[in-house]
Structure 1
């Protein structure tokens, strides 16, 4: 599940390859394990130092800078998320967050994604009399 600054989370397919993971997050990777569930957040280890845009608040104690992805864990390896996990983490990171500097510190505003209405289709005129 890829989570980019200013965007809703979206499923992606990628190889379990260090180079591809580094490309996904824009630099050296760091794995975080904030939950008891066997999943990891993989982000750029130097994201804040590089000045990457702030992305999402993590469990009310940290902010992840730059793109990151959520993946499963099997043993010591990263793996795919289950379908249930995909739904859970896509919903968790669905709304982008905007950060504003205030005199008291950072203010985080969650932006609800815009859902486009379905186009209305006109019914053909009824020619029966």
Structure 2
């Protein structure tokens, strides 16, 4: 099997931009290029109504916060409370426990996760908590929204 020909569909999330579905080569170098450094897998999702959500992985730059990369998207618990903020570009893919590698998500799950993270977020402190708010995408992405 030639790994160079294998593709992986992922949801790419860049700070200030709309979520987009992209195909990347299924290899470490492509993943590192996407997140601009060494990758870290993070499995923060839970949803009792769809257990497959727990098999979705955030793949981000392991040093994103330490390097001061731009804040991107918040990760909230099932009650909507902000639990973490991912810094820098990252992608979401499918990583069921029984698989030894990252996979493309089933189409219905891919669309559900894309919608969940579609719009960029800005972060602010309110009282003693950090909160997030969906924000307007950068100009080139606003044009993309009207084309849909």
TM-score (norm 2): 0.71
- Unaligned runs of 5+ residues in structure 1 are 119-129
| 1:16-55 correspondence to structure 2 within 5 Å | 16-36=26-46, 37=52, 38-55=55-72
- Does residue 1:95 correspond to 2:123, yes or no? no
TM-score (norm 1): 0.81
- Unaligned runs of 5+ residues in structure 2 are 1-10, 47-51, 77-81
- Does residue 1:63 correspond to 2:85, yes or no? yes
2:94 to 65, 72, 85: 72
2:13 to 3, 11, 16: 3
Deviations 1:53-83 (A, max 9, x none): 0001112211000011011125121011111
Could you tell me how far apart the structure 2 residues matched to 1:94 and 1:64 are?
Answer: 15
The list of structure 1 runs, each at least 4 consecutive aligned residues, that deviate by more than 6 angstroms after superposition, is none
Look at both structures and tell me which one has the larger radius of gyration over its CA atoms.
1
